[in-house]
Amino acid sequence: MPTPEFVQHLRSRIGHDPLWLPGAAAVVYDDDGRVLLGRRADTGQWTLITGIVDPGEHPAQAIVREVQEETGISVEVEHLVSIDVVGPVTFPNSDVCRFLSLVFRCRYLSGEARVNDDESMDVRWFSPDDLPPLNPLHRRHAENARYSTGIPDFER
């Protein structure tokens, strides 16, 4: 699902004006230490798997859902890596958003990495030492998650 229904409803009222949204990102590692990345269909850029948290949804549950929806991979959240403010981001349709982004380190459980929706044009595993060009924030998250033991007292 490219844009959640609740965001479409808000956009029908505010147009393209800036919108503050909760987001989540996953740094997914498999048993070989590779990182899962998706190549976005709208920009062509390689990114971590990301998504918008639905109203009332726990961010850790949201990122598990997003990874499954976008890549066909089942994951388990290991821990919270960071909390960031991202944006403003202007999308190709002129919508402007800022995100409160919670970044989780996740462990691969099962599934074959594949394009599983219309948000991605490619999905692949990469060695942490051989990542494709990423925006600096996503690269930093991948590097930090590689050695992170998590933020203490994180509740799922």
Can you read off the two tokens belonging to residue 84? Answer: 């960031």
Global pTM value: 0.88
Q: Inform me whether the pLDDT recorded for 153 exceeds 80.
A: no
Closest by Cα among 90, 6, 97, 88 to 53: 6
Q: Inform me whether the pLDDT recorded for 156 exceeds 50.
A: no
The predicted pLDDT at position 43 comes to 87
Q: For residues 92-101, give the mean pLDDT.
A: 93
Distance between first and last Cα of the chain: 24
Q: What is the DSSP letter of 99?
A: E
Residue 23: its H or E element: strand 19-29
